[in-house]
Each structure stands twice: as C-alpha cells, then as structure tokens.
C-alpha cells in the first residue's frame, strides 16, 4: 500500500500513471475485507487522507487532473465502505458518516478548483478549450472536451443537490445560487465556443450529453438544450451518411485514431449498438422537438436497422457492485422504439421506470446523494439510468 501511495504522489504530473497507482492503493485497501465498523472507519480515513495528499501535490504543480480523477474514485470507494452504516447511531457509524461527508466535501472542493483553473478561463473563448488541450489530434480534443463537459455538469448537479438539502433560510443558499449561475454560464459557453461538443466521436459520449442535459434541465434552459441536442442529432446523422467521423462504439484510442474506415462491413461494426441515439431521442422528446425526432426515427429505420438501440437499468445487485465496478450488474433495455413517435418512446421509458424498482433501492438514492450514481456512470462508463429523466418525461407528457 505504501509503495502504491508513494508512486501516485510522485507521479501526479502523469495523470494516467498516478491514477493507476491510486487505483492499486484502493484495491489493496479493499482487498483486506474490513471485519467491523472500526476497520471500515480506518480504511475510509486512509483513503480520505491519501486523496487530500494527492490534491495538495496537484495544486502545487498547478495541474489538478490527477487530483480530480483520484477524488472521484476515492469518493465512490468511501461510499462503498460506508453506505450500509450511513446514518447509524453508534460511535463508529457516526465517525464513518463524518469521514464520508468530508470526502464528499473534498470532492466538491477539487471539482470547483479544477473548473476554476482548467475550464473557466477558456470557456468563453472561441475554441479556447480545444486549444488548451496539449495535443493537435482531433481525437484527443474531442475526448477531453466531452470529459470536461461531464465534470462541469456533475459539479452543477452537486450544487443542486446541496441547494435542496440546505435549509431555505440558510445564508449559503445565495452562495449556492450564485455558483449555480456561474456553472451554467461556463457549461453553455463551453458548448457555444467548441464545435467538438456538437460532434461526439464515441457513442458513450451519451453519458456526458445526458449529464449536461440533466443540469440544463434543472436550470430551465430548455431552449438551449433543445438547440444543442438538435444539432448533435443532425451532425451525427449527416456524419454517418456522408462517411465522416460519426459516433462509434470503439473505446480504444488506437481504433478511434483510425476511425472511420471504408472497409466492407466497418460502418455496421462501428455502430452495432448505441446508447447515444436513444438518449438523443429521449432528450428530443423531453424538449418536444417532433420534427427532429421524426428525422431520428427515419434514420433508425433506414440506416440503423443493424444497430441495437439500448438503455441501461440498475438491478438488484447494482448497489453492491456500482461504486467499485467490481462485477457485471444491471439490465439492458433493448429495442428502444422510435417508430411510435415521441408519445410511444415516452410511454416505453415510463413503463421501464415503473418496472425497475432497483433504482430507488440504491443506497445513494435512498440517502439523497444521487450524484454519486452519476459520478459512477462517468467514471466507469455506464449509461445514465433513465430514471434521472423521469421528472422531465412526466413534465413533457401531453
């Protein structure tokens, strides 16, 4: 453990290497299988202190990438240690809850610092964020911009979560509201000034698009959201039909760098399944953009008959596996229907939400810490469960 910790601290300027060693540290900690609450508390404190140390070193070198990624993992692991005892009344349970809350707060601090240093200064400049990426590769730029978009959205959603649990007469309400306004401006400026955010390269960029959509929805920015989703839909359809850099299922960098190719059967293999297009369909339905939805349905019928359009739902073992990504879990909703129009898709989504009760049994949902699910989705590349759309879906129904 000490070796992994030392290496992660020493290599904070190499984020991928630092995170790999930090992940090893977390795995070694959890492999010991805590026997009681006291051990859980000790492990949680060790993770918290290690994360603070990484953050301090990252702050000193003015590069918070490693700190952000390590804090996301640490938060999920600490929650996995604590959720079964969260809210308990014993001394150890209260201590564990205190460390967990401090870990959440540290995650907020690191997220805010990352945005302030690495995103906000470039967000209002045309192509500013794209130029800030230390690479000329369009693949690197596309991947980094969508990752950054998801981080800003998660920070904003945490703010909404905090706003809802802070007493209405608390002085911090205004501070949270001001921070929300600032976060919304940053996210909108990112999209307006960086064309890459209209042209997702990976199909699983549906995750970041949904995170941003959820935040914009909470901000009541429906017009902006509708226009953005519409442009993503048309650009993705056009790229596919014209042989451009259309969204693909590949995740390996070597495959993305060679995408697209013109070999026989390649296009079908690159789009064999999709969470992006059904996610766009749901957002179009939420925004009641019937014309663009019809274009998407036509694309589904005439160009994507080979592709399985699908969504992901938690199941009864998700809560024990989600936060460490320790095993396969969840259920897949296949054959997402666009032929029935907006009403048909909303009805299908509502039916699945009603039938999938495991979502409400997730510990982070029960304790009103739902952003943890979204962090896990972005960190482990899991589609955002449709339950997060449910309020919008209900509001959009005629």
302 belongs to a structural domain: no
351 belongs to a structural domain: no
109 belongs to a structural domain: yes
Angstrom distances, CA of residue 345 to CA of 184, 213, 231, 359: 29, 18, 20, 20
Residues 282, 255 contacting (CB under 8 angstroms)? no
Judged by DSSP in three states, 145 sits in helix
Angstrom distances, CA of residue 171 to CA of 108, 166, 168, 175: 18, 9, 8, 7
Write the Ramachandran bin of 181: left for phi over 0, alpha for psi from -120 to 50, otherwise beta. alpha
Intra-chain end-to-end CA distance of the chain, in Å: 57
More confident residue, 188 or 390: 188
Query: Quick one: pLDDT band at residue 395, thresholds 50, 70, 90?
Result: very low
Q: Is the pLDDT of residue 174 over 90?
A: no
Q: Is the pLDDT of residue 167 over 80?
A: no
Residues 62, 63, 65: CA angle, nearest 5 degrees:
155
Q: Is the pLDDT of residue 186 over 60?
A: yes
Domain range enclosing 35: 1-123
- Strands 331-333 and 311-313, by their bridges, are antiparallel
| pLDDT digits 0-9 by tens, 330-346 | 999 998 999 999 999 99
Amino acid 391: pLDDT: 59
Write the Ramachandran bin of 127: left for phi over 0, alpha for psi from -120 to 50, otherwise beta. left
Residues 233, 294 contacting (CB under 8 angstroms)? no
**Mean pLDDT for all residues in the chain:** 95
Amino acid 210: pLDDT: 98
118 belongs to a structural domain: yes
Judged by DSSP in three states, 397 sits in coil
Amino acid 171: pLDDT: 78
Residue count (the chain): 398
21 belongs to a structural domain: yes
343 belongs to a structural domain: no
119 belongs to a structural domain: yes
Residues 294, 230 contacting (CB under 8 angstroms)? no
Q: What is the DSSP string of 33-98?
A: ---SHHHHHHHHHHHHHHHHHHHHHHHHTT--HHHHHHHHHHHHHHHHHHTTTTT--SHHHHHHHH
d(CA 167, CA 170): 5
| pLDDT digits 0-9 by tens, 54-69 | 999 999 999 999 999 9
- Count: domains in the chain: 1
Amino acid 102: pLDDT: 97
Q: Is the pLDDT of residue 393 over 60?
A: no
360 belongs to a structural domain: no
pTM of the model: 0.96
Query: Quick one: pLDDT band at residue 172, thresholds 50, 70, 90?
Result: confident
Amino acid 166: pLDDT: 64
Tokens of 190: 């990112």
């Amino acid at each position: 453990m000490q070796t992994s910790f030392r290496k992660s601290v020493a290599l904070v300027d190499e984020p991928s290497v630092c995170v790999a060693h930090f992940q090893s540290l977390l795995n070694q900690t959890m492999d010991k299988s805590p026997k009681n609450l006291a051990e859980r508390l000790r492990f949680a404190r060790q993770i918290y202190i290690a994360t603070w140390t990484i953050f301090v070193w990252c702050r000193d070198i003015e590069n918070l990438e490693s700190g952000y990624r390590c804090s996301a993992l640490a938060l999920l692991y600490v929650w996995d240690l604590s959720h079964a005892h969260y809210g308990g009344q014993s001394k150890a349970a209260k201590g564990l809850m205190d460390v967990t809350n401090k870990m959440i707060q540290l995650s907020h601090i690191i997220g805010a610092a990352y945005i302030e240093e690495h995103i906000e200064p470039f967000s209002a400049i045309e192509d500013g964020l794209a130029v800030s990426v230390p690479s000329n590769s369009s693949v690197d730029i596309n991947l980094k911009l969508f990752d950054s978009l998801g981080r800003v959205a998660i920070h904003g959603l945490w703010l909404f979560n905090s706003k809802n649990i802070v007493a209405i007469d608390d002085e911090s309400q205004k501070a949270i509201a001001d921070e929300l306004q600032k976060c919304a401006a940053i996210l909108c400026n990112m999209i307006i000034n960086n064309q890459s955010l209209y042209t997702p390269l990976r199909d699983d960029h549906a995750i970041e698009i949904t995170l941003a959509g959820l935040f914009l929805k909470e901000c009541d920015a429906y017009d902006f959201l509708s226009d953005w989703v519409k442009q993503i839909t048309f650009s993705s359809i056009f790229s596919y039909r014209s042989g451009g850099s259309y969204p693909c299922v590949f995740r390996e960098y070597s495959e993305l760098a060679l995408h697209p190719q013109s070999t026989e059967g390649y296009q079908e293999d690159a789009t064999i399944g999709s969470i992006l297009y059904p996610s766009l369909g749901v957002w179009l339905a939420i925004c009641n953009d019937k014309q663009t939805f019809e274009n998407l349905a036509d694309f589904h019928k005439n160009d994507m008959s080979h592709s399985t359009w699908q969504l992901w739902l938690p199941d009864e073992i998700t809560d024990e596996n989600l936060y460490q990504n320790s095993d396969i879990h969840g259920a897949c909703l296949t054959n997402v229907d666009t032929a029935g129009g907006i009403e048909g898709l909303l009805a299908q989504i509502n039916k699945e939400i009603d039938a999938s009760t495991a979502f409400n049994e997730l510990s982070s949902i029960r304790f009103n810490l739902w952003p943890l699910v979204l962090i896990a989705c972005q960190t482990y590349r899991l589609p955002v469960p449709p339950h997060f759309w449910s309020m919008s879906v209900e509001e959009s129904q005629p």
